[in-house]
Amino acid sequence: PERRPRQVELRRDCPYLDTVNRQVLDFDFEKFCSISLSNLNVYACLVCGKYYQGRGLKSHAYTHSLEAGHHVFINLQTEKVYCLPDGYEINDPSLEDIRHVLNPRFAREQVKILDKNKQWSRALDGSNYLPGM
Protein backbone atom coordinates (compact mmCIF):
# COMPACT_ATOMS: atom_id res chain seq x y z
CA PRO A 1 0.00 0.00 0.00
CA GLU A 2 1.15 3.49 -0.85
CA ARG A 3 1.96 5.68 2.13
CA ARG A 4 0.23 9.06 1.99
CA PRO A 5 1.45 12.03 4.01
CA ARG A 6 -0.95 13.00 6.76
CA GLN A 7 -2.93 16.18 6.32
CA VAL A 8 -1.77 18.95 8.62
CA GLU A 9 -3.82 22.03 9.39
CA LEU A 10 -2.07 25.27 8.40
CA ARG A 11 -2.69 28.27 10.68
CA ARG A 12 -1.40 31.80 11.18
CA ASP A 13 -3.00 32.47 14.54
CA CYS A 14 -0.75 30.54 16.92
CA PRO A 15 -1.18 31.88 20.48
CA TYR A 16 2.32 30.70 21.44
CA LEU A 17 4.41 32.75 18.98
CA ASP A 18 5.26 35.20 21.77
CA THR A 19 7.07 32.36 23.62
CA VAL A 20 9.69 32.01 20.84
CA ASN A 21 13.07 32.99 22.32
CA ARG A 22 15.52 33.98 19.59
CA GLN A 23 18.32 34.51 22.16
CA VAL A 24 18.64 30.76 22.85
CA LEU A 25 18.59 29.60 19.24
CA ASP A 26 21.91 28.31 17.94
CA PHE A 27 21.80 26.23 14.78
CA ASP A 28 25.55 25.65 14.60
CA PHE A 29 25.25 22.36 16.52
CA GLU A 30 24.97 18.94 14.89
CA LYS A 31 21.31 18.32 14.21
CA PHE A 32 20.76 15.37 16.57
CA CYS A 33 17.94 14.74 19.04
CA SER A 34 19.18 15.58 22.55
CA ILE A 35 17.57 12.39 23.91
CA SER A 36 17.74 9.67 21.23
CA LEU A 37 20.85 11.08 19.46
CA SER A 38 19.13 10.34 16.14
CA ASN A 39 19.55 12.71 13.22
CA LEU A 40 16.25 11.69 11.60
CA ASN A 41 13.20 13.97 11.73
CA VAL A 42 14.76 16.44 14.21
CA TYR A 43 12.95 19.55 15.45
CA ALA A 44 14.33 22.51 17.39
CA CYS A 45 12.24 23.84 20.24
CA LEU A 46 11.98 27.57 19.52
CA VAL A 47 11.42 28.28 23.22
CA CYS A 48 14.51 26.64 24.76
CA GLY A 49 16.64 25.82 21.70
CA LYS A 50 17.00 22.07 22.35
CA TYR A 51 16.67 19.48 19.58
CA TYR A 52 14.10 16.67 19.72
CA GLN A 53 13.08 13.88 17.38
CA GLY A 54 9.64 13.58 15.78
CA ARG A 55 6.34 15.28 16.44
CA GLY A 56 4.02 12.27 16.76
CA LEU A 57 2.21 11.26 19.95
CA LYS A 58 5.10 9.28 21.46
CA SER A 59 7.95 11.39 20.11
CA HIS A 60 10.52 13.27 22.17
CA ALA A 61 9.37 16.66 20.82
CA TYR A 62 5.74 15.90 21.69
CA THR A 63 6.71 14.80 25.22
CA HIS A 64 8.84 17.93 25.66
CA SER A 65 5.88 20.11 24.62
CA LEU A 66 3.72 18.52 27.33
CA GLU A 67 6.34 18.39 30.11
CA ALA A 68 7.95 21.81 29.59
CA GLY A 69 4.96 23.67 28.16
CA HIS A 70 6.96 24.62 25.07
CA HIS A 71 4.80 24.64 21.95
CA VAL A 72 6.69 26.00 18.92
CA PHE A 73 9.08 23.71 17.01
CA ILE A 74 10.86 23.97 13.65
CA ASN A 75 11.80 20.98 11.52
CA LEU A 76 15.54 21.40 10.91
CA GLN A 77 15.33 19.91 7.43
CA THR A 78 12.06 21.19 5.94
CA GLU A 79 12.06 24.51 7.90
CA LYS A 80 8.34 24.04 8.64
CA VAL A 81 7.17 25.29 12.03
CA TYR A 82 4.63 23.39 14.12
CA CYS A 83 2.65 23.92 17.29
CA LEU A 84 2.75 20.90 19.59
CA PRO A 85 0.93 19.07 21.04
CA ASP A 86 -1.85 20.47 18.81
CA GLY A 87 0.04 19.40 15.67
CA TYR A 88 -0.84 22.23 13.28
CA GLU A 89 1.70 23.95 11.02
CA ILE A 90 2.31 27.63 11.70
CA ASN A 91 2.55 29.93 8.69
CA ASP A 92 3.63 33.31 10.02
CA PRO A 93 6.03 35.78 8.33
CA SER A 94 7.55 36.70 11.71
CA LEU A 95 9.43 33.35 11.61
CA GLU A 96 11.32 34.09 8.38
CA ASP A 97 14.36 35.47 10.26
CA ILE A 98 14.69 32.14 12.07
CA ARG A 99 14.50 30.20 8.80
CA HIS A 100 17.25 32.42 7.36
CA VAL A 101 19.54 31.80 10.35
CA LEU A 102 18.82 28.05 10.22
CA ASN A 103 19.83 27.77 6.55
CA PRO A 104 21.44 30.97 5.26
CA ARG A 105 21.29 31.45 1.51
CA PHE A 106 23.49 33.88 -0.38
CA ALA A 107 23.45 35.11 -3.97
CA ARG A 108 26.70 34.90 -5.95
CA GLU A 109 27.07 38.68 -5.75
CA GLN A 110 26.85 38.57 -1.94
CA VAL A 111 29.53 35.89 -1.73
CA LYS A 112 31.86 37.84 -4.04
CA ILE A 113 31.84 40.91 -1.77
CA LEU A 114 32.15 39.04 1.55
CA ASP A 115 35.92 39.52 1.84
CA LYS A 116 35.68 43.16 0.77
CA ASN A 117 33.62 44.18 3.80
CA LYS A 118 35.59 46.40 6.16
CA GLN A 119 32.72 47.29 8.47
CA TRP A 120 32.90 45.97 12.03
CA SER A 121 29.88 44.27 13.58
CA ARG A 122 28.77 43.76 17.17
CA ALA A 123 28.23 40.25 18.58
CA LEU A 124 25.44 39.33 21.01
CA ASP A 125 27.89 39.62 23.92
CA GLY A 126 28.72 43.20 22.92
CA SER A 127 32.18 42.51 21.51
CA ASN A 128 33.19 43.84 18.10
CA TYR A 129 34.29 41.58 15.26
CA LEU A 130 35.06 41.76 11.57
CA PRO A 131 32.64 39.45 9.71
CA GLY A 132 34.50 36.51 8.18
CA MET A 133 37.28 36.51 10.78
Q: What is the pLDDT of residue 65?
A: 97
Contacts of residue 104, Cβ cutoff 8 Å, sequence gap at least 6: none
pLDDT bin (cut points 50, 70, 90) of residue 5 is low
**How sure is the predictor about 61, in pLDDT bands with cuts at 50, 70 and 90?**
very high
Residue 71, phi then psi, degrees to nearest 5: -120, -15
> What global pTM score does this model have?
0.80
Alpha carbons 24 and 48: distance in angstroms, whole number: 6
Q: Rounded to an integer, what distance in angstroms lies between the CA atom of residue 115 and that of residue 42?
A: 34
Per-domain residue ranges of the chain:
10-105
Q: Which CATH architecture has domain 10-105?
A: 2-Layer Sandwich (3.30)
